[in-house]
Amino acid sequence: MLHQGLSQKLLQKLSPQQIQLMKLLQVPTSQLEERIKEEIEQNPALELSDESDDFSDDLTASKETEDFEPEMDSEGEDDFSEGEETPQLDDELDMSDFYDEADEGMADYKTKDSNEFADPDDDNKTIPIVTRTTFHEYLDEQVGMLDLEDSQHDIALHLVGSIDDDGYLRRDLDAIVDDLAFRQSIYTTPKELSAILKQIQTFDPAGVGARSLEECLLIQLERKEDPTPYTEIAKRVLKNYFESFVKKHYDKLERSLGISSAELKKVIDEITKLNPRPGGTYVGTQTHEQTIVPDFIITTSNGELILTLNSANAPELRVSQSFKEMVTDFKKSKIKSKDTKDALLFIKQKIESAKWFIDAIKKRQNTLYSTMQSIMEIQFEFFTTGDETQLKPMILKDIADKTGLDISTISRVASSKYVQTEYGTFLLKFFFSESLSTESGEEVSTREVKKILTDLISVEDKSDPISDQELTNELNKKGYNIARRTVAKYREQMNIPVARLRKEL
């Protein structure tokens, strides 16, 4: 049976401003300029400031992290129906929050000559464009040098197109046969594909077109211009004992090949000098490397740490002068029609949106600064010495408690921001780690333990690497209460293989 009733309940909802701020916090400095340009394109009331207006980022003096509460007037959002009497717009739409009498007058840009600062030689300047031949284009050129029929030429181009950036053909030949039949109406056989692939494997760089690491290395050994007596043995190792070689079962290899340890070492040197990624080292390959733009810069002066926020990609913003002039025209106008009201509602909405965005940028800078300031205070010893063992245990909650911000906010700041120090550039996540107790009851960072593990492994005898149990014993001697399984976990996190795979002759 249906019935109606009244109930009260409390709900927590994020305002549009808070959502906007959270999104801005996740944007790194390198992408902030693009985000601001996007906002300017969407909101005509927002523009770049040529002067130092109220949007100055004197963050050294301003470290407030109060809640984001931009002003908002909801009266202007009421619906206006045709049948209603036109209200007094001056009373309903108070534009004083968006309008400054001191700004009244002609805008600066109207009195400036657009060619005042123009360079007469600009038209003659051109930006050179660097052109390179890509890895696959280089292979396509070599296909043209083969003596093939038209259908075989198309097959060769398809095979080259199936080769990945490392230089490997990782697709099964039967699957390629089906692709050629369905997509290009070329009917072939795995045998014909294999024959054409053999010709592609003669291309430069050596090893391209291989279907496995073993085949890639064998191709390079076959094409070696100055083979040594150990080259043939190396081929036997790859053909017959590849698994033993990969797992470093050197004793088994010595017995199977009937050679000494010194000879096996020379055989392994032959193999390790080969290139496992022939496509990755092609000189024409265009690599796209990410440029890290630090969000913070920490320097030292007389033992004191100085924190500055990189604002190179955060141009100053202001409400558009033309929108202020529209407000001025409205105040002087005596016509109060519905169209005028709609226009003013639009102007108000855009000005409010611009103010919200400007405030969000300010809030973003204050939040970033206060977060990094707290991290810098906790990790003072690391920033002054650069010694990783000086890092203290620190979790997101520690910074949240220190700044008064939410843990999720700290997480957003730490996930994609970098700090430049005198000892390198680090992701903020680098400074967060759990704690581990010593025999004396002191809590140390797990990064300190990992650093000690790395140091122990770096000085070990490579012919007899230290096992996880021996590493555990060494750490226990130094006063760290740690189990062998924990040592194994830390070693795997640092991508360090087990002792057997670290063995060298």
Contact 293, 28 (CB under 8 A): yes
Q: What is the reported pLDDT for 84?
A: 40
Q: What percent of the chain has pLDDT over 70?
A: 76
Residue-level pLDDT at 374: 92
Mean pLDDT of 297-311: 86
Q: Residue 113: pLDDT band by 50, 70, 90 thresholds?
A: very low
Instruction: Flag whether pLDDT at 126 surpasses 70.
Output: no
The structure tokens listed for 28 are 């790194």
Q: What is the DSSP letter of 299?
A: E
pLDDT of residue 334: 66
Mean pLDDT over 382-404 rounds to 87
Q: What is the mean pLDDT of residues 65-90?
A: 39
CA distances from 325 to 23, 84, 218, 416 (A): 32, 29, 76, 40
pLDDT at 452: 85
Residue type, 303: G
User: Mean pLDDT across the stretch 3-26?
Assistant: 73
- pLDDT band, very low/low/confident/very high, at 129 (cuts 50, 70, 90): low
For 149-206, the pLDDT digits (tens) are: 888 888 889 988 889 888 899 889 889 888 888 888 888 888 998 999 999 989 988 8
- The pLDDT, as a whole number, for residue 257 is 86
pTM of structure: 0.55
Q: Give the residue, 332 or 371, on which the prediction is more confident.
A: 371
Tokens encoding 490: 């830390």
The pLDDT of residue 309 is above 70: yes
The pLDDT tens digits of the residues spanning 449-492 come to 888 888 888 888 888 888 888 888 888 888 778 888 888 888 88
Average per-residue pLDDT for the chain? 76
CATH topology of domain 435-502: Arc Repressor Mutant, subunit A (1.10.10)
In which band, very low, low, confident or very high, does the pLDDT at 53 lie, cut at 50, 70 and 90? very low
**Predicted local distance difference test score (pLDDT) of residue 375:** 92
In this prediction, residue 131 has a pLDDT band, given cuts at 50, 70 and 90, of low
Average pLDDT of the residues in 109-125: 45
Pair 410, 378: CB distance under 8 Å:
no
In this structure, the strands spanning 418-421 and 296-301 are parallel
pLDDT per position as a tens digit, 269-287: 888 888 888 887 765 544 4
DSSP code per residue over 267-288: HHHHHHTS-S-TTTT-TT----
| Lowest pLDDT segment from 165-174, 389-398, 438-447 | 438-447
Share of the chain above pLDDT 90, in %: 3
Range from 41-55, 345-359, 360-374, 477-491 carrying the lowest mean pLDDT: 41-55
Say yes or no to pLDDT of 422 above 80: yes
Strands 435-437 and 317-319 turn out to be unpaired
Give the pLDDT mean for 123-136. 62
Question: pLDDT band for position 87 (50/70/90)?
Answer: very low
Banded model confidence at residue 440, pLDDT cuts 50, 70, 90 = low
Confidence of residue 13 (pLDDT cuts 50, 70, 90): low
pLDDT beyond 50 at 322: yes
User: What pLDDT score does 22 carry?
Assistant: 75
Residue 386 pLDDT: 86
Q: Write down the pLDDT at residue 432.
A: 86
Query: Exposed, middle or buried: residue 411 (CB in 10 Å: 0-12, 13-18, 19+)?
Result: middle
Q: pLDDT-based confidence at 111, cuts 50/70/90? A: very low
So what's the pLDDT on residue 446? 76
- Weakest-pLDDT range from 38-42, 223-227, 338-342: 338-342
- Residue 99's pLDDT is 47
- Region(s) of the chain under CATH 1.10.10.60: 435-502
Question: How far is the C-alpha of 57 from the C-alpha of 68, rounded, in Å?
Answer: 17
At 64, the pLDDT band (50, 70, 90 cuts) reads very low
Q: What span, in angstroms and rounded, lies between the C-alpha atoms of 116 and 110?
A: 13
Cβ neighbours for 234, distance < 8 A, ≥ 6 positions apart: 221, 267, 270, 271
Q: Which phi and psi (to 5°) does residue 248 adopt? A: 60, 40
Among the ranges 11-15, 119-123, 131-135, 231-235, which has the highest mean pLDDT value? 231-235
Cβ neighbourhood burial of 403 (10 Å; 0-12, 13-18, 19+): buried
Q: What per-residue confidence (pLDDT) applies to 2? A: 78
Residue 12: the pLDDT is 65
Q: d(Cα 26, Cα 409) in Å, to the nearest integer?
A: 9
